[in-house]
Structure 1
Amino acid sequence: MNHDRSRALYDRALSVMPGGVNSAVRAAIEPYPFFVEKGEAGHVVDADGNRYVDWVMGLGPLLLGHDLPDEVGAAIQRRASEGPMYGTPTEVEVELAEFVARHVPSVEKIRFVNSGTEATVSAVRLARGHTGRNKIVVMQGGYHGAQESTLVEGDAAQPRPSSAGIPQSFAEHTLPVPFNDEAAIREVFEAHGDEIACVLVEPILANYGIVHPEEGYHEFLREITEEYGSLLVFDEVITGFRVGGLGCAQSEFGVTPDLTTFGKIVGGGFPVGAIGGRAEIIEGFAPAGDVFQAGTFSGHPVTMAAGLETLQYAAENDVYDHVDGLGERLRAGLTDIVADRAPEYTVAGTASMFKLIFTREGPGRDALEEQCSAGCRQEPTCPRYDFCPKNAGDVKAAETDRWRRIFWGQMEDQGIFLSQNQFESQFVSYGHTEADVEETLEAYKEAL
């Protein structure tokens, strides 16, 4: 493929933007990213005219794909034509709030903000304000946006900032533990239970290779937070309105958190975030309560319209049947391919999410007939159970450089756009087709 114009654009970008990008992950593609000119259904076209099947989908927000259904696009355009924003409430933000509250088990009230990061920042502040406690528990490798409270690595005994610019004194209030490790959770609560404001967790680790919870893990988190008077906060920025349909992942797992953070799909592809939960807790936000939270662009009318129209369209059409069905076909196809060509690798994902993790060990080929058929589910009876990733550390131990430096480029050469590293999830949209799936599986066969 010719990438001359993308290379020239990146050269220009390096002169005026740090790393030539406005979000660090975009520079993960080496030696430089391609620049997208437009999207079409389940595809993108770059600045040099190259066309790709797009499984990145804006890193998750584009449930409907790049081409919006006519009624959705018309409603968004109509709202934009009425003026960009007003600094005062609008009816459409009430309608979107009502829609979310009707469908998501944990949500009685909701506060809209402008990004997933802003949502998790505000949720942590609210949890601290509600409980009067300072410490939070997070999962090692879980991603909750570019915020001081969660850009923390290490373990609960020695937490430390994972980024320059964050004081060690901030990190000391954050207790990282491995995902799927009940003993580690129990240990930090026994040591710090009366200081812990909340446990902040993705229902599925979706930004670190896609890792499912083991059976009973979220129920355990629900029980121990109630036991110690802490809040359980589900970060559904990625899984929200993608896993479990309109009820989100919490309805899939049957566990209701105290607070839920949203982003991506709830804004229909426009910048958005939200914090929902029990009314008595959400009422802690100003002006009803003492926890300050505000934003000029919060509840932006164009974003609210895009989110509402997207979710209503999904509710009234076959969107989830379509995307989940294609996701199942992708994962099932990948399971067959890796069983034949790379039996140590792990197929992960659920609903309309998928990922191939380049794990280094696995059972013998003769045992693979009994494995999970379309993505790891942490089933103890699966022959891959002892080898599939249980937490972010397991994913990090995979062949991440091979995935990024060799495999990603081989897929790009075949016109398949995958997420920029081993860790980011990949997503199916309503714009994708069975032909896109078959083309992608053929590319995987060639690349592997």
Structure 2
Amino acid sequence: MNHDNSRTLYDRALSVMPGGVNSAVRAAIEPYPFFVRRGAGGHVVDADGNRYIDWVMGLGPLLLGHDLPESVRAGIQRNASEGPMYGTPTEIEVDLAEFVVRHVPSVEKIRFVNSGTEATVSAVRLARGYTGRNKIVVMHGGYHGAQESTLVGGDAENPSPSSAGIPQSFAEHTVPVPFNDEDAIRDVFDAHGDDIAAVLTEPILGNYGIVHPEEGYHEFLRQITDEHGSLLIFDEVITGFRVGGLGCAQSEFGVTPDLTTFGKIIGGGFPVGAIGGRADIVEHFAPTGDVFQAGTFSGHPVTMAAGLETLQFAAANDVYDHVNGLGDRLRRGLSDIVADQAPSYTVTGTDSMFKVIFTRDGPGKESLEEQCDAGCRQHPTCPRYDYCPKNAADVKDAETERWRRIFWGEMKDQGIFLSQNQFECQFVSYGHTDDDVEETLEAYKDVL
């Protein structure tokens, strides 16, 4: 493939943007990222005319793919043509709020913001303001945006900032624990229960290779937070309106958090975030409560239109049947390929999310007939159970450099665009086809 135009664009970008990018993960592609010119269905075309099957989908927001259905496009264009924004409420934000409240179990009231990061920042502030407590429990490898309260590493006893520019005093109020570790959660509540405002977790780790909760884990979090008067916050920026359909991942797991954060799909591909939950908690946001939150672009009418049109189209058509069916075919096909060619690797994902994690160890090849056949579900009876990742550390111990430096580039050369590293998940859209799945499986078979 020729990449001369992308190389020229990246050279220009390096002169005016740090690292030549506006989000750090985009620079993970070496020696430089390709620049996209346009999207088409489930594909993208780069600045040099190379065409790829796109399983990144903007890192998740594009449920419908790059070619929006006519009704969705018309609704967005109609709102854009009437004016960009007004600084006052609009009917379309009420319409979208009502739609979300009708479909998501935890949401009685909702506040729209401008990004997933802003949503989690606001949710953490709200939890602290509502409870009068300081500490937030987070999961190792859980990603909640570029914010001071969650860019924290270390362990429960020795938390430390994971980025320069964050004071140690901020990190002291954040308690990181391993995902799927009930004992670690108990220890934290035994030590700090009176000062824990909330447990903040993704229902499924989505920025660390896709890690499912073990059976009963979310129910345990619900119980222990209730016992201690803390809040349970689900970060559904990735899983919201993708896993579990319109009810989101919380409906699939049958656990209702106190607060939920949203992003990506709820804005139909435009910048968005939202915090929803119990009315008595969300009412603590200004102007009805004492937790300040505001934003010039919050509830932006074009974004609200894009989100509402996307979700209404999904509700009225076979969107979830289509994307989940293709996701299931992908994961089943990948499971067969991996069992034959790389039996130590683990296929993960659910609904329209998928990933192959290059885990280093696995069961004997002869035992894999009884494995989870469409992505790891943490079933104790699965022969992979003792080897599949249970938390972020397990994913980090995989062959991440082989994935990034060898596998990713060879897949790109086959015309398959995968997420830029071992950790980011991959997504199916309504624009993908059976042929896209078959071509992708053939590429995995050839490259692995």
Shorter-chain-normalised TM-score: which range? over 0.9
Match of 1:269 in 2: 269
Match of 2:119 in 1: 119
Match of 2:203 in 1: 203
**1:439 Cα shift?**
0.3
Letter of the structure 2 residue corresponding to residue 421 of structure 1: N
Is 1:438 paired with 2:438?
yes
Q: Deviations over 1:418-440 (max 9, x none)?
A: 00000000000000000000000
Letter of the structure 2 residue corresponding to residue 233 of structure 1: I
What is the TM-score normalised by the length of structure 2? 1.00
Q: Separation in 2 of the partners of 1:320 and 1:370?
A: 27
Q: Secondary structure at the residue paired with 2:61?
A: coil
Letter of the structure 1 residue corresponding to residue 312 of structure 2: Q
- Within 5 A, what are the aligned runs for 1:183-222? 183-222=183-222
* Unmatched tracts of structure 2, length 5 or more: none
Is 1:35 paired with 2:8?
no
**1:347 Cα shift?**
0.1
Letter of the structure 1 residue corresponding to residue 38 of structure 2: K
Letter of the structure 2 residue corresponding to residue 222 of structure 1: R
Letter of the structure 1 residue corresponding to residue 282 of structure 2: I
Match of 2:10 in 1: 10
Q: Secondary structure at the residue paired with 1:2?
A: coil
Letter of the structure 2 residue corresponding to residue 365 of structure 1: K
- Within 5 A, what are the aligned runs for 1:274-423? 274-423=274-423
Q: Separation in 2 of the partners of 1:381 and 1:49?
A: 48
**1:124 Cα shift?**
0.1
Is 1:154 paired with 2:154?
yes
**1:236 Cα shift?**
0.1
Is 1:142 paired with 2:153?
no
Q: Percent identity?
A: 85
Q: Separation in 2 of the partners of 1:291 and 1:280?
A: 13
Q: Secondary structure at the residue paired with 2:378?
A: coil
Q: Separation in 2 of the partners of 1:208 and 1:338?
A: 20
Match of 2:257 in 1: 257
Letter of the structure 2 residue corresponding to residue 19 of structure 1: G
Is 1:234 paired with 2:261?
no
**1:45 Cα shift?**
0.1
Q: Separation in 2 of the partners of 1:425 and 1:218?
A: 21
Q: Secondary structure at the residue paired with 1:276?
A: strand
Match of 2:59 in 1: 59
Match of 1:98 in 2: 98
Q: Deviations over 1:44-102 (max 9, x none)?
A: 00000000000000000000000000010011001000000000000000000000000
**1:232 Cα shift?**
0.0
Letter of the structure 1 residue corresponding to residue 72 of structure 2: V
Letter of the structure 2 residue corresponding to residue 179 of structure 1: F
Match of 1:129 in 2: 129
Q: Separation in 2 of the partners of 1:86 and 1:114?
A: 16
Q: Separation in 1 of the partners of 2:367 and 2:175?
A: 38
Q: Secondary structure at the residue paired with 2:261?
A: strand
Is 1:81 paired with 2:72?
no
After superposition, the CA RMSD in angstroms is 0.2
Q: Secondary structure at the residue paired with 1:385?
A: coil
Q: Deviations over 1:313-334 (max 9, x none)?
A: 0000000000000000000000
Q: Deviations over 1:377-411 (max 9, x none)?
A: 00000000000000000000000000000000000
Match of 2:170 in 1: 170
Across the two proteins, how many residue pairs are aligned to each other?
448
Q: Secondary structure at the residue paired with 2:137?
A: strand
Q: Deviations over 1:128-158 (max 9, x none)?
A: 0000000000000100000000000010010
Q: Deviations over 1:330-360 (max 9, x none)?
A: 0000000000000000000000000000000
Q: Separation in 1 of the partners of 2:264 and 2:9?
A: 27
Match of 2:71 in 1: 71
